[in-house]
Structure 1
């Protein structure tokens, strides 16, 4: 039944008039559909940035005012501006691509056909559970209607945002930009069929003279800078499920690129007449299974690889026993036999070829297509975690990396002689490199032995170390710059709670080695001021064996990954310490220069006063 309907829809393209090619000139007035969607909202702003064109946005609403309000709200939801300058260059029309002549009056239709010189179609009904009949109006007949508008009056280019879903035939071997698309009878999902049919009708429009550009994203990832993501994209659900349950299906490639790269590249194509009329796979560089697993391991999230069917069954079982509402849409797709076929085609298809796109990007000096790995998706991943979709590494996870730190010294009542010994034996650990790079915090476990408090060791109940806590700002009424801040909650054998706070500080002196090993501490009962204060030090003989040679890395990592994890930690930590130790000397030098400048100014003022005095005496002598 679907094929019969599709063939009938393809026949509609034969009714289009014949037209000449569009004039190869940079557009001045662009018609854009789908501006309230995830990709369309970003593309609207990139079109405004890429040139001086005015953009007419078609938005489904009761009237133009409601359409403008809907667009403004959509842009705000995707962290896009709706400023005075944006409004000045954007016209919003209430329209519907599902309706004849876009639901516009004859006069308005003719006005668009006359004034617009480029059409960009991003609008689409994206639903992997609906059949072709319920999607065709938006995804097939809508583009056909825009083709008619493009061929009415002065010929205009039509840039159609399609999808690599046109290749979603299980077992397809190639997905190049000019390779044949899938066989229609081997597509299962209604969405795939509708995107295939849209390209088919527009290829027929090409034969009638229409200049048509096909722009095919794969999965669309979150913005690399703002972190805004599309909660309905399959990649969002996949990343969320993997991070939560720490299992990953054994896929071949994920054709996934960030929305900002796709949007910027699309805008550049729209403004380059030499690029029109071609096919572009805007898929970036595909993610592979080994790369994904390695990224997650090095982030402190060890994942288990499972077969596709086992992974799917496990996810459905987990969602049934302990549901995660944010993953409901993914579970609905995985529960649909038809939608599962789409998912399988995505997981086991080949890498999308994009030679033409890569050449275009290089020619225009745009950012090259890079893998949407852990670094690129960091902002989006954090947002997913805030919204409950994904889960970041936490202290409850097995330590990613740990080492010992031992200190000993003397303490005494605050303001009095230090007469009691104090020993600290800690295990410092991090759950992931994300934890230290993003938050600069190290977790602390261990014991404190201080007979002034209790004859038995005190246990660290809660503890963390902040690395360079004040970003180079010295402590109040002091020239000491904090390197590390220790904040611990201790419990003695009788159940009493104590707090310990300590600072390793940097000073403008030459004893740098001593500074990194010395900790000034204060101890007090929970909720009360400090009763003990003192200094403890890391013995020079224990620093190397404990904190460098003694680093323990998660044994589930390979030996190569363990070495890489250790190197990453040491590089980051010593860079932080080097910066912290340099700050006091730099500040002292800056203050010295300021003082010297004041001295020079004072000398100038003194000389000026002398000259003025001599001039007065000379006048009096006359």
Structure 2
């Protein structure tokens, strides 16, 4: 079925998106270096301008070809699919405006970057009559349903609430291609042994490859865009290790790389290889897709629609094979949609304005028609694909990761209803289980996890020490764009271009204002096969991703110098003396213990300390705490002496006396078999010495009984910027966490003592029986 593809045959190249790319040509050109092709083009401005659409298309194609690897662009081929970049598009548009005398809407260029389409735009702007029929699309065999002529109307700003008429006509034609698929029998319902996988070099595809290898015995054929098998294998390995995934010789033994291209007829394979592979493979998993929220339907359809239909054709070739299609929750991205259940109606395609949304919708609807031909098709719909909960690996081009980055970096969020996102490791694991379970084939699954509501996100980030301000959508967008511009962070270019595009903004609006996705079938399947249920993708699940984003400069974690999030006073009194001598000199401390964030507790179990120490034996004036930390259950409470003493708390302070001298202070609380639990929890064994010297003083200090409740429970202070409800939640969270850690520290010695006692009681009975 080569008619499923256009015939330009040029491989798509990855786009290079630079920081600050918006949709104002004049502003963008001011930031860009001049193109070597521009002077020659601009020198010809004075020549006669074209008189018709065909002439304009020729001028546009010639100008565009100067930016492409091949040097040529057919009139009906997409500029981006042929290798053009977003920066190229900006300078190209400036040249065309000078040469054709028309101001091009850059958003319109991203929507459809074919010379013939831009020529029609020029014709509408200049009043040149449009031909009755458009220039034919270059395909091996024209589609059965011809694409009607674009409507003749004056050029105007695009309606970003509706799909483009040309796109709708192309969608109708592409859906008709599914009717050409052959009729097939039902595949054998057995776990797959040989799987064809596309998209393995991508974020979700790489994780899915590893889960298929871990949780099945299958051999996986990975379609990789490469010149040969060796370079494809290297590209696959580089992608996997880049996502912190293992790539061992044992895994490589079960993977065969197929150099090819999802956008080419028969995946870029020879006829012989196509048929041989169709006879070997017993399952098809399609993850590969072009993901770009600015490019239009015409630009993305070869990979996302025609590539999907090619996989359907492959699944129907030779013995029947199930096709597992990674779709997207984007098929519901209609502003105002009321339900997103697994069997609910999809969006109205004429109300999808993003090319990505349109292609995912068209691919899924086309595969529904393929089901009528007997093909067993499973649609797996992730929402936002979040970072890995264990490694923190994330996709910087994913909208969810981009939103998370700016939320954490700028501490503002737009007022949204739900975030339908889940971690990549959960999505991948469930998808792999569906692929390997024949009873699960042929249904639709929403792999969207537990939807997060605005209040949950605000509270979750507040507990992490990040006070979040909520803004209205337009205010948030303008403010965030200004901050990205001022920050000059190249890694946030992705979000800058999304927030600058009217088309992409509609996608964001639909994403943030849509309902919660429901996933009853997915939940039932996970329970039936013993998989973990979906968990909220909250601060704890995102912890490693936050850290990775901070390392990349995309977000900012709470730091020691930040305004405290929670604090309380601690007073201790006692005595010290020279090491080896009685502790007879009074010693007291007035400290403030504080948290910059709950992140400290989750990651480090550490509390910040400030205050002063009064100890005449050390210095007649108080010593100031320059830096101080308290570790709760240091070393995970591992015992330090015959398993009888378990560390509860460790104090490490750096002190400065009134004369400028530096001192160190170490204090320890231990849990051991002792019925006076109050003493264990409040008494600190201390050592004090000059910086760089051994301990000079040792003794004990303790928290007075009458000050503990007053200071450390009733006296807890919380960041006043939080609401009263959030302040109460912060206090309760701290007390519950600290109480649990102390319980964990106090129990082991008693557990061991009880075990020893039972052994002693059993010994005589054993002797009598012997």
TM-score, normalization: structure 2?
0.73
1:296 to 458, 461, 464: 461
- Specify the SS of the correspondent of 1:93: strand
Establish whether residue 446 from structure 1 lines up as the match of residue 611 from structure 2. yes
Distance in 1 (alpha carbons) for counterparts of 2:391 and 2:358: 33
What are the ranges of 5 or more consecutive residues in structure 1 without an aligned counterpart?
A: 604-622
Q: Which residue of 2 aligns with 1:241?
A: 406
Contact 2:405/2:555 (<8 A) preserved = yes
Deviation at 1:584, TM superposition (A): 4.5
1:119 to 284, 288, 293: 284
Establish whether residue 184 from structure 1 lines up as the match of residue 335 from structure 2. no
Matches within 5 A, 1:250-265: 250-265=415-430
What are the ranges of 5 or more consecutive residues in structure 2 without an aligned counterpart?
A: 1-165
Of 579-588 and 259-268, deviating more is: 579-588
Deviation at 1:288, TM superposition (A): 0.9
Matches within 5 A, 1:339-350: 339-350=504-515
Distance in 2 (alpha carbons) for counterparts of 1:172 and 1:28: 40
Contact 1:253/1:347 (<8 A) preserved = yes
Distance in 1 (alpha carbons) for counterparts of 2:684 and 2:758: 31
Q: Which residue of 2 aligns with 1:607?
A: none
User: 1:154 and 1:402, CA in 2 relative to 1: closer, same or farther beyond 3 A?
Assistant: same
1:27 to 188, 192, 195: 192
Distance in 1 (alpha carbons) for counterparts of 2:762 and 2:250: 45
Establish whether residue 51 from structure 1 lines up as the match of residue 216 from structure 2. yes
2:737 to 572, 581, 589: 572
- How many residue pairs match? The answer is 604
Distance in 1 (alpha carbons) for counterparts of 2:576 and 2:537: 52
Q: Which residue of 1 aligns with 2:78?
A: none
1:360 to 520, 525, 535: 525
Distance in 2 (alpha carbons) for counterparts of 1:278 and 1:582: 50
Q: Which residue of 2 aligns with 1:96?
A: 261
Of 330-339 and 80-89, deviating more is: 80-89
- Specify the SS of the correspondent of 2:634: coil
- Specify the SS of the correspondent of 1:574: helix
Deviation at 1:558, TM superposition (A): 4.2
User: 1:496 and 1:231, CA in 2 relative to 1: closer, same or farther beyond 3 A?
Assistant: same
Deviation at 1:484, TM superposition (A): 1.7
Establish whether residue 457 from structure 1 lines up as the match of residue 622 from structure 2. yes
Contact 2:634/2:650 (<8 A) preserved = yes
Establish whether residue 523 from structure 1 lines up as the match of residue 688 from structure 2. yes
Contact 2:662/2:691 (<8 A) preserved = yes
Establish whether residue 376 from structure 1 lines up as the match of residue 541 from structure 2. yes
Q: Which residue of 2 aligns with 1:542?
A: 707
Contact 2:412/2:471 (<8 A) preserved = yes
User: Aligned-pair RMSD on alpha carbons?
Assistant: 3.0
1:311 to 473, 476, 480: 476
Deviation at 1:240, TM superposition (A): 1.6
Of 182-191 and 252-261, deviating more is: 182-191
Distance in 1 (alpha carbons) for counterparts of 2:705 and 2:538: 40
Deviation at 1:123, TM superposition (A): 0.4
User: 1:156 and 1:477, CA in 2 relative to 1: closer, same or farther beyond 3 A?
Assistant: closer
Deviation at 1:269, TM superposition (A): 2.3
Deviation at 1:591, TM superposition (A): 8.0
Distance in 1 (alpha carbons) for counterparts of 2:444 and 2:399: 23
User: 1:565 and 1:27, CA in 2 relative to 1: closer, same or farther beyond 3 A?
Assistant: same
Deviation at 1:475, TM superposition (A): 4.7
Contact 1:472/1:583 (<8 A) preserved = no
Contact 1:227/1:378 (<8 A) preserved = yes
Distance in 1 (alpha carbons) for counterparts of 2:439 and 2:707: 67
1:411-433 CA deviation, whole Å, 9 max, x = no partner?
A: 33333454532221001112233
Contact 1:426/1:447 (<8 A) preserved = yes
Q: Which residue of 2 aligns with 1:397?
A: 562
Distance in 2 (alpha carbons) for counterparts of 1:582 and 1:109: 64
- Specify the SS of the correspondent of 1:359: helix
Establish whether residue 489 from structure 1 lines up as the match of residue 654 from structure 2. yes
2:313 to 148, 152, 159: 148
Establish whether residue 81 from structure 1 lines up as the match of residue 246 from structure 2. yes
1:155-212 CA deviation, whole Å, 9 max, x = no partner?
A: 2222111111122222222223333322333222221122122223323333333322
Contact 2:204/2:287 (<8 A) preserved = yes
TM-score, normalization: structure 1?
0.89
Deviation at 1:579, TM superposition (A): 3.5
